[in-house]
């Protein structure tokens, strides 16, 4: 029978028609009269038997037409059947996507710069400082958004005046946001900001502008968007150095109900400290660039003194960079933290701008969602597995 199914497209289409008839029969079994139900059950059996035996194409087509006529005669027609079928297909697609992202691959994004230069959150450039740089036309903007993840925002002063008020970002429809600047008695609207633009655009109440000057001239670069592998950790434990995603649930000092992404640096039952050379020390052994997944974390320290990627800092060394209080659980290189039997430590690669386990402690194993697998947007040198 399998060979018959494989060898004939007409027969395969017949089986699809039979499946649709069976589904409708089951849906209407409590609505059909006893006679109609019995007759259609007989038609189902006869058409099934016809498909199971060798037959010419013309015979299969004739049997299919007869079965379709019987279905139209005996089954109850649904109002708006095409709309119902379309809705079912959309619903099945949504359910399939949700199931896939629940059990296999989770979509997420990098909101902050704590994992730079491995993964990037939202970054920006204030183009008011570059008056010769023109914003692209609409075609160029579409290309930059689709490929680079670049969003442009420009608001010009309609007259001489000053900023009187700046609203918070408001969501007026799913995925549609706006932020309003009250300037010289007029409301100037910026559409689709992903966050409050005040800090990035360097604007504040009282700022004065002349007519035609840009109040905002900004390029925002979207953070990396990731696929998170949710399967691997069902078959093995998380490993040191992996970039992993976890829920903030029940972690004190973190906003609840969010997803964070960091590098996993310490495993259960390990003793951890951070020496003054800005390296982790795990059970008495110093981590270096020769350790897998830490190649970039520590080789970055060979750059300029003022560059921000400096390995890992304890609180005393952080104070030298005017960031005292960054690592209260690792006050000096003599400070030790013993990881619990079901806990992990998470730290950002951008050590001066990462709020991580140095401040709030362990990630419970139950909170771990999965590990970073693939950067799917924007298209940069980190696209795919380039971040590795």
Whether 243 maps to a domain, the answer reads yes
Q: What is the pLDDT of residue 104?
A: 84
Query: Higher model confidence: residue 219 or residue 21?
Result: 219
Report the 10 Å Cβ neighbour count for 276.
Answer: 12
320/239 same-domain check: yes
Is pTM, for the whole model, over 0.75?
no
80: left (phi over 0), alpha (psi -120 to 50) or beta: left
* 113 falls within a domain: no
Give the model's pLDDT for residue 229.
94
pLDDT tier at 310 (50, 70, 90 boundaries)? confident
Q: What is the mean pLDDT of residues 38-42?
A: 89
Does one domain contain both 299 and 175? no
Tell whether 161 is covered by a domain.
Answer: yes
Find all residues with CB under 8 Å of 186, minimum gap 6, and list them. Answer: 158, 159
Share of residues in the chain with pLDDT > 70 (%) = 93
- Domain check: are 157 and 68 in the same one? no
Query: Do 241 and 313 lie in a common domain?
Result: yes
Within 10 angstroms of residue 372's Cβ, the number of other Cβ atoms is 24
The pLDDT of residue 110 is: 87
Structure tokens at 138: 């609409």
Residues 308 and 327 in one domain: yes
Percent of the chain with pLDDT strictly greater than 90: 56
Do 302 and 243 share a domain, yes or no? yes
Q: How do residues 333-353 score in pLDDT, each as one tens digit?
A: 999 999 999 999 999 998 888
- Taking residues 342-371, report their average pLDDT: 94
Q: Would the pLDDT of 277 be above 70?
A: yes
- Is the same domain home to 331 and 199? no
Query: Could you tell me if residue 386 is inside a domain?
Result: no
Model confidence at 39: pLDDT above 60 = yes
Res 82: pLDDT: 63
User: Are residues 345 and 245 part of one domain?
Assistant: yes
CATH of the domain at 364: 2.10.109.10
- Per-residue pLDDT tens over the stretch 61-103: 888 899 889 888 888 876 656 666 677 777 777 777 777 777 7
Which residues have C-beta within 8 Å of that of residue 219, sequence separation ≥ 6?
Answer: 124, 125, 127, 150, 151, 152, 153
Asked if pLDDT for residue 212 goes beyond 60, the answer is yes
Number of domains in the chain: 3
Residue 285 lies in a domain: yes
Q: Are 333 and 279 in contact (CB under 8 A)?
A: no
pLDDT, tens digit, for every residue of 214-240? 999 999 999 999 999 999 999 999 999
In whole angstroms, give the CA distance from residue 306 to residue 289: 20
Q: What is the pLDDT of residues 232-270, one digit of tens each?
A: 999 999 999 999 999 999 998 899 988 999 999 999 999
Q: Judge whether 272 lies within some domain.
A: yes
Average of per-residue pLDDT across 35-63: 86
Residue found under tokens 């001239």: 217
Distance separating alpha carbons of residues 359 and 353, to the nearest angstrom: 12
| 81 assigned to some structural domain | no
- Mean pLDDT across the chain: 88
CATH code, domain with 25: 1.20.1270
Digit-coded pLDDT (tens) for 130-171 = 888 889 999 999 999 999 999 999 999 999 999 999 999 999
What's the pLDDT score for residue 304? 45
pLDDT score of 327 more than 90: yes
CA distances, 148 to each of 380, 381, 387 (Å): 7, 11, 16
Residue 98 inside a domain? The answer is: no
**Could you tell me the pLDDT band of residue 305, with boundaries at 50, 70 and 90?**
very low
Domain boundaries, position 47: 2-74
């Amino acid at each position: 029978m399998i060979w018959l199914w494989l060898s004939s497209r007409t027969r395969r289409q017949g089986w699809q028609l039979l499946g649709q008839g069976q589904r409708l029969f089951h849906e209407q079994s409590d609505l059909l009269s006893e006679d109609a139900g019995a007759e259609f059950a007989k038609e189902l059996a006869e058409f099934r038997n016809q498909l199971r035996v060798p037959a010419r194409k013309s015979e299969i087509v004739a049997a299919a037409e007869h079965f379709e006529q019987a279905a139209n005669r005996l089954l109850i027609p649904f109002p708006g059947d095409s709309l119902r079928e379309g809705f079912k297909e959309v619903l099945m697609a949504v359910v399939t996507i949700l199931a896939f992202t629940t059990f296999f691959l989770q979509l997420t994004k990098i909101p902050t710069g704590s994992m730079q230069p491995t993964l990037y959150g939202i970054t920006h450039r204030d183009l008011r400082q570059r008056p010769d740089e023109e914003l692209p036309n609409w075609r160029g903007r579409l290309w930059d958004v689709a490929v680079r993840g670049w969003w442009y925002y420009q608001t010009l002063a309609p007259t001489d005046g000053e900023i009187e008020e700046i609203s918070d970002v408001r969501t007026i429809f799913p995925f549609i946001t706006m932020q309003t600047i009250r300037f010289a008695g007029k409301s100037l609207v910026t559409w689709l900001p992903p966050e409050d633009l005040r800090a990035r655009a360097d604007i504040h109440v009282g700022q004065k502008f002349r007519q035609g000057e840009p109040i905002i001239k900004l390029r925002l670069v979207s953070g990396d968007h990731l696929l998170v592998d949710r399967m691997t950790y069902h078959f093995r434990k998380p490993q040191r150095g992996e970039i992993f995603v976890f829920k903030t649930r029940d972690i004190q000092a973190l906003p609840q109900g969010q997803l964070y992404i960091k590098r996993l640096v310490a495993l259960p039952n390990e003793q951890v400290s951070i020496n003054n050379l800005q390296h982790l020390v795990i059970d008495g052994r110093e981590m270096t660039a020769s350790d897998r997944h830490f190649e970039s974390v520590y080789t970055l320290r060979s750059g300029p003194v003022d560059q921000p990627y400096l390995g890992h800092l304890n609180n005393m060394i952080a104070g030298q960079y005017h960031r005292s209080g960054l690592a209260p659980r690792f006050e000096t290189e003599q400070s030790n933290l013993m990881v619990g039997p079901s806990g992990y430590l998470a730290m950002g690669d951008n050590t001066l701008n990462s709020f991580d386990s140095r401040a709030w402690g362990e990630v419970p194993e139950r909170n771990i969602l999965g590990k970073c697998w693939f950067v799917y947007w924007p298209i940069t040198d980190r696209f795919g597995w380039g971040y590795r």
